[in-house]
């Protein structure tokens, strides 16, 4: 079990949809917070949510090495090695790979995959030396299922899933735990990510969209229990079951979802 009381939790992307809920729920569990996001505007809400339990706030672009270094330096200057590192920052882009500008999917890979690797590389030695720590990676159901129009996003989330699984094996017996989280679509700003090509005419059907507060609550429950894999919403759990036991059904459901996304886009315009 991971006890959250009096822990220091570093949350990337703390001003976003999941991030704000993470700040509030970790604080309610007795944790202190280090928060980071790409701008002062994004961070303001997280800072207010953290209140007196704020240890530090850092404006940093995690799509760059310099941004990741700024977060590490902010912790080092306070002699803090986070008890829990939550790799939550992420962006999305939708469209067939050759329809998406190269700089868009390269930026996505920097933020979604390389930033967690850079931060883990910096903080893991201190966690191992201390004999305790927890790394939380916010992957996605797109880290289990490759779906149309999401090749770059799926690549980043499959990568993050594999990274977390390998870390868990490397860290076995060290006192440092890893939790990977695989939400489906949730009511967060990532739903408004740029879309290219045929994806411009699509919207996510409402029944697939979960409440971010519920997702975060299930994530924290998984962290407390040191679970490696957390599927925090009903659709994610259902699809994981299908990928394991009836994988032939996955492309059938994907085609159905694509058709429903076109219908949802038409309804949104009316």
Catalytic residues: 153
Quote the tokens at residue 172: 């076995």
Question: Around Cβ 79, how many Cβ atoms within 10 Å?
Answer: 6
For residue 76, give both structure tokens.
């080092």
Q: The tokens of 59 are what?
A: 């404006």
DSSP characters over 24-77: HHHHHTT-EEEEEESSHHHHHHHHHHHGGGEEEEEE--TTSHHHHHHHHHHHHT
Of how many residues is the chain composed? 270
């Amino acid at each position: 079990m991971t006890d959250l009381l009096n822990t220091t939790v570093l949350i990337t992307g703390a001003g976003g949809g999941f991030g704000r809920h993470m700040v509030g729920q970790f604080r309610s569990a007795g944790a202190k917070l280090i928060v980071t996001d790409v701008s002062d505007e994004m961070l303001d809400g997280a800072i207010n949510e953290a209140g007196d339990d704020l240890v530090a706030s850092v404006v940093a672009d995690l799509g760059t090495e310099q941004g990741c270094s700024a977060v590490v330096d902010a912790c080092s200057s306070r002699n803090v090695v986070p008890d829990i590192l939550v790799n939550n920052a992420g962006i999305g882009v939708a469209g067939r790979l050759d329809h998406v500008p190269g700089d868009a999917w390269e930026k996505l890979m920097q933020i979604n995959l390389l930033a967690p690797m850079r931060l883990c590389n910096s903080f893991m030695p201190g966690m191992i030396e201390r004999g305790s720590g927890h790394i939380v990676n916010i992957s996605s159901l797109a880290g289990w299922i490759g779906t149309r129009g999401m090749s770059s996003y799926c690549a980043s989330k499959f990568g993050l899933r594999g990274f977390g699984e390998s870390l868990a094996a490397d860290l076995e017996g060290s006192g440092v735990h890893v939790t990977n989280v695989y939400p489906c679509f949730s009511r967060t700003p990532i739903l408004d990510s740029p879309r290219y090509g045929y994806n411009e005419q699509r919207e996510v059907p409402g029944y697939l969209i979960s409440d971010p507060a519920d997702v975060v609550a299930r994530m924290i429950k998984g962290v407390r229990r040191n679970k490696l894999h957390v599927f925090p919403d009903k659709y994610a759990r259902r699809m994981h079951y299908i990928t394991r036991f009836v994988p032939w059904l996955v492309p059938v459901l994907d085609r159905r979802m694509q058709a429903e996304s076109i219908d949802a886009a038409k309804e949104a315009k009316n």
